[in-house]
Structure formats: C-alpha cells, structure tokens
Structure 1
Amino acid sequence: MEQQGLSGIIKHADSRWIIVCDFDGTISCADVTDTLMEEFGHPDWKLLESRWEKGKIGSRDCLSGQISLLDATRQQLDACLDQIKIDQAFCDFARWAKAQSIPLYIVSDGLDYAIERILRNNNIAGLPVIANHLEQVGERRWHISFPHFNPDCRFASGTCKCRVAEKLNPHAFLVIGDGRSDFCVASRADHVLAKKGLLAQCRRAGIAHTPFESFAEARSCLEKQIAKAVRVSSQETL
C-alpha cells in the first residue's frame, strides 16, 4: 500500500473526538517487529533492543539498526506476518467507531507494511495507518524510513505520536495503548485506555485512564468518557 502523507489524512479529522490507537501489543497479540526479528534477524538485533530498553538510544535508531539486520524474502516475511493474531474484538470496535462517526487512527512506532497486511488478513479496511515505512530493497534486504519523525521528540521515536495526534486533532483525542511508545502522547490525551506498561506509567504519572485487557471492554469505556465530556461541555455553555 502506498504510504499516505499525514497531510492527506488530516482533512478527515473534523470530529469532536478522535481515537489514537497503538498497534503492537494493543491490537496485535504480539510485537510484530520483535516477531520478525526473532525469525529472520541477525542475533545482534537483541543488542540494539537492550540499548533501547536502557534508554541509551531512541526507537528510531533501534529500528533502523534492526531492520538492517533483517534477512528474509517477501514471501517469508508475509508468511510470518500471516501467523500474527489480533484481538478479534477490535473488528467490532472499529465498526462501532465508524458508526459513531468517531475517526479511528492507528498510530504506531512499528512497520506500516506489516500493520496493513495484518489488517487485511482480518478483513479490516479503511483505517488510516500512520507508522514507519518499510520497503524491500533487495531479494532479502529491507529498509525503514521515518516520515513521521520529529527531531524534538522526547523519546527519539520513529513516529512521534504527540506530533501526529496534535496535527490530527489538538482539541480532543483519546489514546489506546500498551507501552513505551505511548507514554508521551498519553500525557497529553483527554483520556487513556491503558494496559501493560502504559497502565503502570499512567498510575505513576497520575494520568486519567481506564485499564483494559481487550477491545471487548473498550467500547463501553469510551462511551462513558465521551458522554462525560459532552455533559461537561453542555454545562459550560449554559
């Protein structure tokens, strides 16, 4: 799928609320990049992962180095991606958001090609994917680029979720996520649905959040938050 620039997506973000949703470990049941590297990466990819976990490098540098160590044909890559499962309740959640005219954006510090293929495998179409761009540059070689990189990003991420969210809708956005790439954008959100590492971070930082395990819970959580915000807005206009 052709990489869509952020400017081509922004014009659709005219709702009172938008949802900014992580992919790896949030929609997918596994971290996609880690899965690919475990299968096809040179062992040195784990050294980069360790440096990132210790805060010595940002995710942009980590991913750039790791993808350079990826050794797989497109057929092998696709076969691996086709085995990755997602939270099946996400399909119903995406349909609900569409029915409610709430724009839902997948904003990920992962790989656009992988996300788009996994979504197609699960018959999910039409969701904008904002992520790092993966392309094949040889029979077994791959390259990653960062169209949504922000040189001022606190976490030196490949995709700066804060900048993306603020360009999409600076006034009202909800975040759904699970890990480190969501820490910064969660601190700026109106509300967060959090699990795993993001849940612990929200508790530490006092960020308004709702714990969740599955997208089966996400719809009711967000309905309550949106209804609450509407009530507050109505009272302010009286």
Structure 2
Amino acid sequence: MGLQQSATNQQQINHPQTNSCIQIFCDFDGTITERDMIITLMEKFAPAGWEQLRDGVLNRQIPVQEGVGQMFAMIDTRLRQNMIEYAQEIAKIRPGFSEFIEFVKKQKIEFYVTSGGMDFFVYPILQRWVDPSQIFCNRADWTGDMVRVEWPYACDEQCTGGCGCCKPSLMRKFEHGCKQIVIGDSVTDAKASRLADFVFARSKLIDICQQDGIPYQSYETFFDIMEGLKTITESR
C-alpha cells in the first residue's frame, strides 16, 4: 500500500483549494509518534555498527540521506514482515493527535506529514487519521538482499544538504501565500523551521530555534499545539 501511494505523491502535488491561509508541515518520528521509529527499528533489527551512523546524523556530521541509507542497507530484506509488524506494535501516538486532526479539519488548515521515515511503517500507523495524499516520506525497496532506500522527495536546486526527504523543498512546492507552520523535534526539522513563519518544537529542535532566533512554542502533546494554533487561527 505504501509504495503505490507514495509514488502517486511523487508524480503530482496538488494544492488543496480551501479558505485557509495556514499550512502545517508535521514531522512523524518523535513528533506524531513518541518514539523515533527508525531508531527503534534499528535497535531491534540492525547489526552492531549502526549507532555510529545515528550519532553522525544527529551531530550533523553525516547527511541524513547518507546516514539513513547506510543504516537500512545493513538490514536483511527477509526481515520485512517482522519489521512491519513490530513497528505497528511498538508505535505510540503522542497524546492529543486525534483531537488535533479534527481541529485542523474543522479550521480548514492544510495539514501535511513530511517524514524522513519509511513508507512501510508511516502509512500503516497513520491510516486512521491522515489521508495518504497528505503524507510525504521515503520508500523502502525490498527487492534485493539488503534494504535500499528510495528518495522521492530529495533536495531541490535550492538545497544541497542531502536531506533525504527534503522538508524545505516540499514547503517551497506548496507555497502559495499561506502562513507556514512546522511541527518537529530534531535536527531533521532545522532547515524547514528556518523557512517557517512559526514552529512548534520539542527536544533538540528547541535548542536550534533558540540558537537561530526562530519564533517557536514548545510542546509535549498535541493538546499543547492545538492551544497555540487557536491563538493563530483567531488572529487571521
């Protein structure tokens, strides 16, 4: 399911026709889910050595695309079904997400999931709440002996950072005069946050926002974000 849906997204990005002038670009790992699902899967299935790649990505010494690609290349494709089942079993959605989605729909706010995660766990975990057309993530190719990652949303000509799923590139594609809001938690959300009008941040992203002078509000649950959004929607 995920592979086919993601391919559709790659071919055309349609701008929804709404009266809203707010767009939300929301991270998945560690944001919608309480755990970082890539790290969780690597802890369970990857052989020794993946930790150095993780640390290199988090310390911004290795580009995300390079580091994540190498991590998944350590995984035997025969583990596919085990990984799919484990991801759905272990994933815990951050409190308030369901209510947040209802609020966004009611307010006619454009909502997109921009994830550095993989289709085989992002789509199944989100299927209760988010339409596949609103999800942009990477794809896992299981046809060889080891997993190979495909990057349908790689960097555009304005970004050369090897982002993998390039969130600022997606923001530029969707830009049509609306206020753009980023929700995230980590270094993979840094570039998108620098483009945003406002950021909801937690964990490492708070430090980045403070260092770069980016307007932000901290959060722990989606109830916190919803309260912050109410102020923004009331002022538009």
Higher alpha-carbon deviation: 55-64 or 126-135:
126-135
Q: Kindly indicate whether residue 14 of structure 2 is the aligned counterpart of residue 10 of structure 1.
A: yes
Partner in structure 1 of residue 52 of structure 2: 47
Describe how 1:219-234 pairs up with structure 2 within 5 A.
Answer: 219-228=226-235, 230=236
CA deviation profile, 1:202-227 (whole Å, cap 9, x unmatched)? 11111111111100111110121233
Unaligned runs of 5+ in 1: 231-238
Q: Kindly indicate whether residue 35 of structure 2 is the aligned counterpart of residue 30 of structure 1.
A: yes
CA distance in 2, matches of 1:198, 1:154: 21
| Structure 1 residue 74 displacement after superposition | 2.6
> What count of residue pairs does the alignment treat as equivalent?
226
CA RMSD of aligned residues (A): 1.9
Partner in structure 1 of residue 152 of structure 2: 147
Partner in structure 1 of residue 80 of structure 2: 74
CA distance in 2, matches of 1:108, 1:38: 20
CA distance in 1, matches of 2:173, 2:62: 26
SS in 1 for 2:136: strand
Q: In the alignment, residue 134 of structure 1 is paired with which amino acid?
A: A
| Structure 1 residue 176 displacement after superposition | 0.6
CA deviation profile, 1:58-90 (whole Å, cap 9, x unmatched)? 000011111111135232112211221111311
What is the TM-score of this pair, normalised by structure 1?
Answer: 0.87
Indicate how the Cα distance of structure 1 residues 216 and 136 shifts in structure 2: closer, same or farther if over 3 A, else same.
Answer: same
CA deviation profile, 1:94-126 (whole Å, cap 9, x unmatched)? 111112111110001121221111113xx2241
Partner in structure 2 of residue 233 of structure 1: none
CA distance in 1, matches of 2:116, 2:150: 11
| Structure 1 residue 50 displacement after superposition | 2.6
CA distance in 1, matches of 2:102, 2:188: 25
| Structure 1 residue 6 displacement after superposition | 4.4
CA distance in 2, matches of 1:77, 1:181: 23
| Structure 1 residue 54 displacement after superposition | 3.5
Describe how 1:138-217 pairs up with structure 2 within 5 A.
Answer: 138=144, 141-150=146-155, 152-171=158-177, 172-217=179-224
What is the TM-score of this pair, normalised by structure 2?
Answer: 0.88
Identity of aligned residues (%): 27
Unaligned runs of 5+ in 2: none
CA distance in 2, matches of 1:166, 1:183: 15
| Structure 1 residue 154 displacement after superposition | 5.0
SS in 2 for 1:213: coil
| Structure 1 residue 43 displacement after superposition | 1.2
Indicate how the Cα distance of structure 1 residues 192 and 125 shifts in structure 2: closer, same or farther if over 3 A, else same.
Answer: closer
CA distance in 2, matches of 1:124, 1:208: 28
Higher alpha-carbon deviation: 218-227 or 205-214:
218-227
Q: Which has the larger radius of gyration?
A: 1
CA deviation profile, 1:21-64 (whole Å, cap 9, x unmatched)? 00110000111111111111121211222332343320000111
Describe how 1:101-120 pairs up with structure 2 within 5 A.
Answer: 101-120=108-127
CA contact 1:106–1:130 (8 Å) conserved in 2: yes
Candidates 130, 137, 143, aligned match of 2:143: 137
SS in 2 for 1:33: helix
